[in-house]
Structure 1
Amino acid sequence: MQAESVLPTAEPAATLADIASREGQPLKICLLGYRSQPYGGGQGIYIKYLSKALVEAGHQVDVISGQPYPHVDPRVKLIKMPGMNLFETGLGSLTWSHLRSLTNIIEWTGKLTGGFAEPRCFGRRVFKYLKHHGRHYDIIHDNQCLSWGMLKLQQRGFPLVTTIHHPITSDLQIALNAAPDWKARLLIKRWHSFLTMQKKVAQRLDNVVTVSERSQQDIASAFELQPSAINLVYNGIDTAEFRPMPEVAKKPYRIMATASADAPLKGVRYLLEAVAELAKRYPQLELLMVGQPQAGGATEQLIKRLKLGDRIIFVSGISTEQLVRHYAEAQVVVIPSVYEGFGLPAGEAMACGVPVVSTDGGALPEVVGDAGIIVPVKNSRAISEAVSDLLEHENKRKTLSAAGRQRIETLFCWQRAAGQMTEYYSQVMASR
């Protein structure tokens, strides 16, 4: 992938007097997300809750997003930046009007050849929009787009901050290891070809922030950066929404997981193998999975082989309130991931006062700490033994439930995250 041309700085940096006059004043913040629906993963959740926390801290926040669009607080202005949305509309949605836009052609041909061009094309659209309509923002905060358009914004003098949740190189390696043959590996490499762009962009960004110490180290290694050049602001959990519901009755032998069922990164295979083992000891056992497997995909096939079809309930597209109720009904939540840059499902479950069994993948130990049971990655037997331990010992479940809630309230609430992020924004503004 060739680097797109970047432009020389056209605007003078803010003076010290400008910075001083804004000290203690509400900021005008623009958050960017190339796809931000919260059901699609952690990036959408990050946009939703960070924007809400910043508004509650007194700042003015706009979100510019491509499809699928985020769910934002009514006080947050959503500026829609529609692309071709080919993952929903399909390649056949191309019309003659699309051909008037080079960006649309790039996006369509990328999908046609098995690539993922959304970040690059979102960056092109956002750059075009912000160079005409974005000069009033104090901070523009990119949520892991890492496109050439972001470099153009930076070189035009826009105050840019970029969050990198974790290096997608981790996803790539895990997917390659799980691929059944060379054809699948070829397709996986093609889809992840956007990483070439992201690595080059990351190396030239001035202000990078990430969400865990593990991500800080992994990003530095994958993108050839110094760890000290990557700032750390932990994610938060909305402890008002994700809360214990003592009025909801527990369902005996109900365990729960929130994971993209067909993504090797999420380790669902090891959870299913553990459930098959647990079912021998607990005939009443059932698993509620938040996520939907692909028809005929690897997860669906594994469920059939293990004869677990009557033990698993799949739910998707549910509201936050429904998700919290599901947590309240579960006796144990399992996080089977091979790698997490932070681990929002673990934090959400702990905030809801549900005991957690988590792997040690990525940053999960940073989130769970001693308030849950941590097992090695890719170890279905360890998951099975840990879940069995909790099912057998009610007092241990109660102890971890209380400890988990307290840990999230103390260390990982969004109010704290928003305060730390605001301090970082101020440092960025002062450094200009």
Structure 2
Amino acid sequence: MKLLLDPQAYNMQRFGGITRYHTEVLVELSKMGVSIECPVLFADNLHLKEHGLFQSQWSDVMRWRWLPKFVRKKIAKKFRRKNFKRTKEALKRQDYDVFVSTYYDPYFLDYIGDKPFVLTLHDMIHDLFPQYFTRDKNTVAWKKLLLEKATRVIAVSENSKRDALRIYPQLDPDKFDVVYLSQSIDTVSKVHVDLPQKFILFVGNRTIYKNFNFFIEAVAPLLKTDPDLFVVAAGGNGFEKDEADLLQKLGIAAQVIQQNFEDNELASYYGQAQCFVFPSEYEGFGIPVLEAMACGCPVVLAHHSSFPEVAGEAGVYFELHNADDLKDKVAQLLSDPALRADFSQKGLQRAAQFSWQKTAAGCLESYRKALAQKA
């Protein structure tokens, strides 16, 4: 089987869950002997660089690092346009078996002919929470079109599949394949990170549906009663004014620390935390949940969306939007070392059930189904 892998996600993301998923699956499929073409002339993507993929194709571009930033951005934009051009040319040649779309731009429909294509559905966040994406004029319509046109749809959770079928009941449920994701954290080669002795961990983007302010307001009473307790917000860049103002208002600014991190440092954050809180309103899957569990860090998260599928009995669940319940669940973990150890062990066992090998095998089965349907 030969796959043609669409480069659009690599045009969009320097790093992130979507390109992490496609890159890890690409690596595993290559080990299985699957032939893959990805017409990417240039991509400043950390996951591709991590695995050394397609580097020779843009080696000349990378020599331009000495140029001013605005010049490099202009050059990169030009080469990303060429990525699409090369993909269209590959589509026209028709010398592949299955086209794999990495995101929702339907540009390829004019060139694909009768070849099958497989779409990965990561979530229905734009459809369910349009108030958070008022500047995005395309994703909902594009996604709907591709869900209808796709030969097969890989959903990253049963919850994402259910949401899609509920919002678009005209879709054929039989063309959905649920394939869980995994995580790539290095739990062995931990590096030293300067962190408080006792802290609650929050990781990543803090905006909109990630519910950071709700989380802070919920745990503020715990910080105020224990001056040795901190919150560490890892990643997401420095606090915005409204976040800083909230911390001042709550009287906990000195106990809430924001630190960006390198990939090889993240395991140390999880490994040293008392617990990891993931208060997001909605996730298609939630890779950080697996990351934390793989590091033996107890996970506190809402019992909704895809979270019960990912964490299973290894999660400490609170009622969504119930700040008192979140505070109580975190307090229980903080006050009971035996309980923390129990959920740490449960998390390790749960995380071991997921792997990129399993993900790639599930994707390959979906690609084979797509090919058989068009035969």
TM (normalized to structure 1)? 0.72
**1:128 pairs with one of 80, 83, 88:** 88
Distance 1:298 1:62, change over 3 A: farther
The answer to whether the aligner puts 1:230 opposite 2:176 as a matched pair is: yes
Match of 2:369 in 1: 427
Residue 407 of structure 1 deviates from its aligned partner by 1.1
**1:270 pairs with one of 196, 207, 214:** 214
SS at match of 2:7: strand
Q: Which one is further off, 213-222 or 33-42? A: 33-42
Q: Is the 8 A contact 1:335 1:346 kept in 2?
A: yes
Q: Is the 8 A contact 2:191 2:268 kept in 1?
A: no
Distance 1:245 1:197, change over 3 A: closer
Q: Which one is further off, 218-227 or 368-377? A: 218-227
Paired with 2:24 and 2:210, the residues of 1 have a C-alpha distance of 22
SS at match of 1:71: helix
Match of 2:226 in 1: 282
Q: How does 1:159-178 map to 2 (within 5 A)?
A: 159-170=116-127, 172-173=129-130, 175=132
The answer to whether the aligner puts 1:141 opposite 2:83 as a matched pair is: no
Distance 1:303 1:193, change over 3 A: farther
Match of 2:305 in 1: 362
Q: How does 1:295-314 map to 2 (within 5 A)?
A: 296-314=240-258
Residue 393 of structure 1 deviates from its aligned partner by 0.9
Residue 332 of structure 1 deviates from its aligned partner by 0.6
Distance 1:138 1:293, change over 3 A: same
Paired with 1:238 and 1:217, the residues of 2 have a C-alpha distance of 27
**Counterpart of 1:342 in structure 2: which amino acid?**
F
Q: Which one is further off, 335-344 or 223-232? A: 223-232
Paired with 2:193 and 2:211, the residues of 1 have a C-alpha distance of 29
Paired with 2:39 and 2:220, the residues of 1 have a C-alpha distance of 44
Match of 1:332 in 2: 275
Residue 293 of structure 1 deviates from its aligned partner by 5.1
More helix by share: 2
Match of 1:191 in 2: 136
Q: Which one is further off, 188-197 or 200-209? A: 188-197
Match of 1:382 in 2: 325
Paired with 2:139 and 2:297, the residues of 1 have a C-alpha distance of 38
Paired with 1:383 and 1:48, the residues of 2 have a C-alpha distance of 35
Q: Is the 8 A contact 1:337 1:361 kept in 2?
A: no
SS at match of 2:252: coil
The answer to whether the aligner puts 1:200 opposite 2:177 as a matched pair is: no
Residue 247 of structure 1 deviates from its aligned partner by 10
Distance 1:342 1:243, change over 3 A: farther
SS at match of 2:177: strand
Paired with 2:205 and 2:140, the residues of 1 have a C-alpha distance of 21
SS at match of 2:314: coil
Residue 171 of structure 1 deviates from its aligned partner by 5.8
Match of 2:351 in 1: 408
Q: How does 1:19-168 map to 2 (within 5 A)?
A: 27-28=2-3, 30=5, 32-35=7-10, 40-63=15-38, 68-72=44-48, 73-74=50-51, 76-77=53-54, 125=85, 127-131=87-91, 135-143=94-102, 145-154=103-112, 156-168=113-125
TM (normalized to structure 2)? 0.82
Percent identity between the two aligned chains: 24
Structure 1 stretches of 4+ with a deviation exceeding 6 A read 36-39, 244-250
Size of the aligned set, in residue pairs, is: 358
Q: Is the 8 A contact 1:274 1:384 kept in 2?
A: yes
Q: Is the 8 A contact 1:47 1:70 kept in 2?
A: no
Residue 314 of structure 1 deviates from its aligned partner by 1.8
Residue 325 of structure 1 deviates from its aligned partner by 1.4
Distance 1:242 1:223, change over 3 A: farther
SS at match of 1:146: coil
**Counterpart of 1:348 in structure 2: which amino acid?**
E
Paired with 1:128 and 1:406, the residues of 2 have a C-alpha distance of 44
Match of 1:11 in 2: none
Residues 20-42 of structure 1 deviation map (CA, whole Å, 9 limit, x = unaligned) = xx6xxxx5552534347877532
**Counterpart of 1:415 in structure 2: which amino acid?**
Q
Paired with 1:334 and 1:280, the residues of 2 have a C-alpha distance of 18
Residues 320-347 of structure 1 deviation map (CA, whole Å, 9 limit, x = unaligned) = 2211111111121111110011011111
Residues 372-417 of structure 1 deviation map (CA, whole Å, 9 limit, x = unaligned) = 201122222222111110111111111111111111212x211111
Residue 129 of structure 1 deviates from its aligned partner by 4.0
Distance 1:299 1:48, change over 3 A: farther
Match of 2:156 in 1: 211
Paired with 2:114 and 2:45, the residues of 1 have a C-alpha distance of 28
Please give the root-mean-square deviation of Cα atoms over the aligned residues, in Å.
Answer: 3.5
**Counterpart of 1:419 in structure 2: which amino acid?**
A
